[in-house]
Amino acid sequence: MAENEDGQEKSQEPTSKRVEDARKKGQVPRSRELNTMALTLVGVAVMMLMGGRFSSGFEGQFREHLKLSRREIFDPNALLAHLVGGLQDALLMLLPFFGVMMVVAVAASVALGGFNISTEAMQPKLSKLDPIKGLKRVFGPKGLMELLKSLAKFVLVSLVTMGVLWSWRRDIVGLADLDIGVALSDGLRMVGWASLLIASTMILMAAIDVPFQLWQHRKELKMTQQEVRDELKQTEGRPEVKGRIRQLQREMAQRRMMQEVPKADVIVTNPTHYAVALRYDPDTMNAPLVIAKGKDLVAANIREIGREHHIPLVEAPVLARAVYFHSELNQPIPAQLFLAVAQLLAYVFQLRAWEEEGGDIPQPPEEFPVPEEMRHD
């Protein structure tokens, strides 16, 4: 197991904050072997695909810029013009190749750790000039791993190169018996395929290096139990963070509560300062349920939602305050308020019957029997 400078074991997986802080410092997984493989393979493949275009293009430039008349030979300005023109034509012809290689270089760099620009990593640090730390990096575990990878690449490329040369030895020797044009064409074709085969060896190196870099990066970011506790104190332990968390929790609870208001059977109001939404289903409930309650602005929102959904709003200040102060959200009302709420619900059910059948308009009770100990006048 990895250990920190204090000798404590880093056994805990890195937190999201730890990973984010590492990205800000420029610590993201990168694989040189992946970059080398992508650039080498794509470079050789593009050269093989565009080889005919390059060949004809350079041939045309040689004919145009290296075939000079007698007057141009003795004219320095003409020679300079041919040189500049030849360079411009060559750059324009190679521009697609350079563009593809640039795209591949960027894509290979961000494929493993994502796109990340760290201003902190760009800042000059005198500690980077410390020769002792430099020697530790060279002769440390990372330096040893890089040495082993370099040796492995050398051995692998050498073996593949010797294998290609040995398998094509007759074809290579046979080029001497061919016409110069045919020999040149076949030779270039052999060089292209040989380069592609040799470059393909980098796939194996990348397949080994990419998982290793991911594992190494995760290992370096691991934390001790003390570091996890300290980070938790620094984030959730701050008063402003706790306050923000409580605020978000209240907002979420209010949103959930407001979503329940349309299900209410009646809303009891103060009429302005308090509002309580009650729901009662005789088939499934033993007592009416408080599904929303609030005061001031929250009470105003409850009343507004109630009007939008045509829920009866009953002004009963004493009952509204009693239910508000002596009941919990999503809990039945206290037993002491059963009689008062029963009269309220009876009025609501009469009101529904009047809306459906007509007749005399029911009148709400003038006073609800709220016990003295439940009153908040």
Tokens, residue 3? 């250990």
Tokens, residue 312? 């009866």
Question: How far lies 60's CA from each of 63, 65, 147, 188, in Å?
Answer: 5, 9, 46, 19
pTM score: 0.47
Residues 78/72, Cβ–Cβ less than 8 Å: yes
| 153 burial via Cβ count (<10 Å: 0-12, 13-18, 19+) | middle
Tokens, residue 59? 């041939």
Predicted pLDDT of residue 256:
81
**Which residues are registered as beta bridge partners of 268?**
276, 314
Predicted pLDDT of residue 282:
82
Predicted pLDDT of residue 131:
64
Residues 89/79, Cβ–Cβ less than 8 Å: no
Q: Write the DSSP assignment of 182-241 as a string of letters.
A: HHHHHHHHHHHHHHHHHHHHHHHHHHHHHHHHHHHHHHHH-B-HHHHHHHHHHHHTSHHH
Mean pLDDT per 10-residue run, the chain (377 residues)?
A: 58 77 78 84 82 71 70 73 78 84 85 69 59 62 75 85 86 78 73 82 83 83 78 65 71 78 85 86 85 86 87 86 86 87 86 78 79 78
Predicted pLDDT of residue 238:
61
Predicted pLDDT of residue 128:
57
